[in-house]
Structure 1
Amino acid sequence: MKILDNIKNLSAQLKEISRLLNQLKAQQKNLVEQVDQIKTTSDEIQVEIEKMNFKNKPHLDRIKETTEHLNDQLSKFKA
Protein backbone atom coordinates (compact mmCIF):
# COMPACT_ATOMS: atom_id res chain seq x y z
CA MET A 1 0.00 0.00 0.00
CA LYS A 2 3.05 2.24 -0.02
CA ILE A 3 2.48 3.12 -3.68
CA LEU A 4 -1.13 4.08 -2.95
CA ASP A 5 0.01 6.28 -0.05
CA ASN A 6 2.59 7.90 -2.28
CA ILE A 7 -0.05 8.60 -4.93
CA LYS A 8 -2.38 10.12 -2.32
CA ASN A 9 0.48 12.20 -0.95
CA LEU A 10 1.42 13.35 -4.45
CA SER A 11 -2.21 14.22 -5.18
CA ALA A 12 -2.43 16.26 -1.96
CA GLN A 13 0.81 18.05 -2.82
CA LEU A 14 -0.43 18.84 -6.33
CA LYS A 15 -3.64 20.29 -4.88
CA GLU A 16 -1.57 22.41 -2.48
CA ILE A 17 0.63 23.61 -5.35
CA SER A 18 -2.47 24.49 -7.35
CA ARG A 19 -3.94 26.40 -4.38
CA LEU A 20 -0.67 28.26 -3.81
CA LEU A 21 -0.40 29.06 -7.51
CA ASN A 22 -3.90 30.56 -7.50
CA GLN A 23 -2.99 32.56 -4.40
CA LEU A 24 0.18 33.78 -6.10
CA LYS A 25 -1.79 34.85 -9.18
CA ALA A 26 -4.20 36.82 -7.00
CA GLN A 27 -1.32 38.51 -5.19
CA GLN A 28 0.36 39.32 -8.49
CA LYS A 29 -2.84 40.93 -9.75
CA ASN A 30 -3.08 42.97 -6.55
CA LEU A 31 0.55 44.02 -6.87
CA VAL A 32 0.08 45.12 -10.49
CA GLU A 33 -2.92 47.23 -9.46
CA GLN A 34 -0.92 48.86 -6.67
CA VAL A 35 2.00 49.57 -9.00
CA ASP A 36 -0.41 51.21 -11.45
CA GLN A 37 -1.80 53.38 -8.65
CA ILE A 38 1.70 54.36 -7.55
CA LYS A 39 2.64 55.26 -11.12
CA THR A 40 -0.47 57.40 -11.49
CA THR A 41 0.25 59.17 -8.20
CA SER A 42 3.89 59.65 -9.16
CA ASP A 43 2.89 61.18 -12.49
CA GLU A 44 0.46 63.54 -10.75
CA ILE A 45 3.15 64.60 -8.27
CA GLN A 46 5.60 65.23 -11.12
CA VAL A 47 3.06 67.46 -12.87
CA GLU A 48 2.55 69.43 -9.65
CA ILE A 49 6.32 69.79 -9.19
CA GLU A 50 6.66 71.12 -12.73
CA LYS A 51 3.83 73.60 -12.11
CA MET A 52 5.45 74.77 -8.87
CA ASN A 53 8.84 75.15 -10.55
CA PHE A 54 7.24 77.16 -13.33
CA LYS A 55 5.49 79.46 -10.83
CA ASN A 56 8.61 79.88 -8.67
CA LYS A 57 11.07 80.48 -11.52
CA PRO A 58 10.53 84.28 -11.71
CA HIS A 59 10.96 84.56 -7.94
CA LEU A 60 14.08 82.43 -7.98
CA ASP A 61 15.50 84.45 -10.88
CA ARG A 62 14.95 87.69 -8.96
CA ILE A 63 16.55 86.20 -5.86
CA LYS A 64 19.54 85.11 -7.92
CA GLU A 65 19.89 88.57 -9.50
CA THR A 66 19.61 90.28 -6.13
CA THR A 67 22.19 87.93 -4.62
CA GLU A 68 24.59 88.60 -7.46
CA HIS A 69 24.06 92.35 -7.10
CA LEU A 70 24.66 92.22 -3.35
CA ASN A 71 27.79 90.12 -3.82
CA ASP A 72 29.09 92.62 -6.37
CA GLN A 73 28.43 95.48 -3.99
CA LEU A 74 30.07 93.65 -1.07
CA SER A 75 33.13 92.83 -3.17
CA LYS A 76 33.66 96.57 -3.73
CA PHE A 77 33.91 97.11 0.01
CA LYS A 78 36.26 94.21 0.56
CA ALA A 79 38.78 95.46 -1.98
Structure 2
Amino acid sequence: MPRYDYRCRACGDTFEVSRPMIEASDPAPCPAGHADTVKLLSTVAVTGKAPSTPQPRPATGGGCCGGGCCS
Protein backbone atom coordinates (compact mmCIF):
# COMPACT_ATOMS: atom_id res chain seq x y z
CA MET A 1 0.00 0.00 0.00
CA PRO A 2 1.46 3.42 -0.92
CA ARG A 3 2.64 5.81 1.77
CA TYR A 4 2.02 9.53 1.47
CA ASP A 5 3.85 12.29 3.34
CA TYR A 6 1.91 15.17 4.88
CA ARG A 7 2.85 18.28 6.84
CA CYS A 8 0.67 20.00 9.41
CA ARG A 9 0.39 23.74 8.83
CA ALA A 10 -0.59 24.34 12.46
CA CYS A 11 2.30 22.62 14.27
CA GLY A 12 4.79 21.94 11.43
CA ASP A 13 4.92 18.18 12.10
CA THR A 14 5.48 15.86 9.13
CA PHE A 15 3.93 12.41 9.07
CA GLU A 16 3.15 9.47 6.79
CA VAL A 17 -0.19 7.91 5.97
CA SER A 18 -0.56 4.49 4.29
CA ARG A 19 -3.70 4.35 2.18
CA PRO A 20 -4.95 3.08 -1.17
CA MET A 21 -4.15 5.22 -4.22
CA ILE A 22 -7.84 6.02 -4.69
CA GLU A 23 -7.72 7.86 -1.33
CA ALA A 24 -4.47 9.72 -2.08
CA SER A 25 -6.14 13.15 -2.33
CA ASP A 26 -8.33 12.72 0.76
CA PRO A 27 -7.50 14.97 3.73
CA ALA A 28 -5.25 13.50 6.42
CA PRO A 29 -5.53 14.89 9.95
CA CYS A 30 -2.34 15.54 11.89
CA PRO A 31 -1.55 13.00 14.66
CA ALA A 32 -1.82 15.94 17.09
CA GLY A 33 -5.42 16.50 15.96
CA HIS A 34 -5.01 19.46 13.60
CA ALA A 35 -6.98 19.40 10.35
CA ASP A 36 -4.95 21.90 8.28
CA THR A 37 -2.47 19.59 6.53
CA VAL A 38 -0.88 19.54 3.12
CA LYS A 39 0.30 16.55 1.08
CA LEU A 40 4.01 16.72 0.29
CA LEU A 41 5.56 15.89 -3.05
CA SER A 42 7.44 12.61 -2.70
CA THR A 43 10.63 11.91 -4.59
CA VAL A 44 12.03 8.57 -5.59
CA ALA A 45 15.75 7.94 -5.75
CA VAL A 46 16.90 5.32 -8.21
CA THR A 47 20.48 4.18 -8.07
CA GLY A 48 22.40 1.83 -10.24
CA LYS A 49 25.22 1.72 -12.70
CA ALA A 50 24.78 1.89 -16.44
CA PRO A 51 27.38 0.25 -18.65
CA SER A 52 30.13 2.69 -19.67
CA THR A 53 30.15 1.46 -23.28
CA PRO A 54 27.09 1.02 -25.46
CA GLN A 55 25.91 -2.56 -25.63
CA PRO A 56 25.12 -4.01 -29.07
CA ARG A 57 21.44 -4.52 -29.76
CA PRO A 58 20.33 -7.91 -30.98
CA ALA A 59 19.10 -8.12 -34.58
CA THR A 60 15.32 -8.33 -34.67
CA GLY A 61 14.73 -9.05 -38.36
CA GLY A 62 11.27 -8.90 -39.87
CA GLY A 63 9.46 -5.78 -40.90
CA CYS A 64 8.92 -4.70 -44.47
CA CYS A 65 12.41 -3.44 -45.28
CA GLY A 66 14.17 -5.93 -43.02
CA GLY A 67 12.24 -8.93 -44.24
CA GLY A 68 12.85 -8.55 -47.96
CA CYS A 69 9.21 -7.96 -48.96
CA CYS A 70 9.94 -4.60 -50.66
CA SER A 71 10.49 -4.72 -54.40
| TM bin (shorter chain) | under 0.3
Q: Which has the higher helix share?
A: 1
Structure number with larger C-alpha Rg? 1
Whose RCO is larger (CA < 8 A, sep 6+)?
2
Q: Which has the higher strand share?
A: 2
Q: TM-score, normalised to structure 2's length?
A: 0.25
